[in-house]
Amino acid sequence: MRLIAVHLPERIVSDIERLVEKGLYPNRSETIRIAIRDLLKRELWDRGNSEHKPVIEVAKK
């Protein structure tokens, strides 16, 4: 897995932390990976774009 740095507004970070505190996700990184996977799935993979295939594996809870 590759490490990237992203600047996020404090409100988004706080909301992500709330999701983790509620036990909906194991940690912030996994929450962000799932959000990105869902965006890519909606915008690229589900539209039949054959050049982009899913590569993100999300740990099961």
59 C-beta neighbours (distance < 10 Å), count:
11
Q: What is the pLDDT of residue 53?
A: 58
Q: What is the pLDDT of residue 54?
A: 56
Residue 31 phi/psi, 5-degree rounding, is -60, -45
Report pTM.
0.71
pLDDT tens digits, 2-61: 999 999 999 999 999 999 999 999 999 999 999 999 999 999 988 766 555 555 555 554
- Number of domain units in the chain: 1
Alpha-carbon distances of 14 from 2, 18, 24, 28, 56, rounded to whole Å: 24, 6, 14, 10, 24
Domain that residue 61 falls in: 1-61
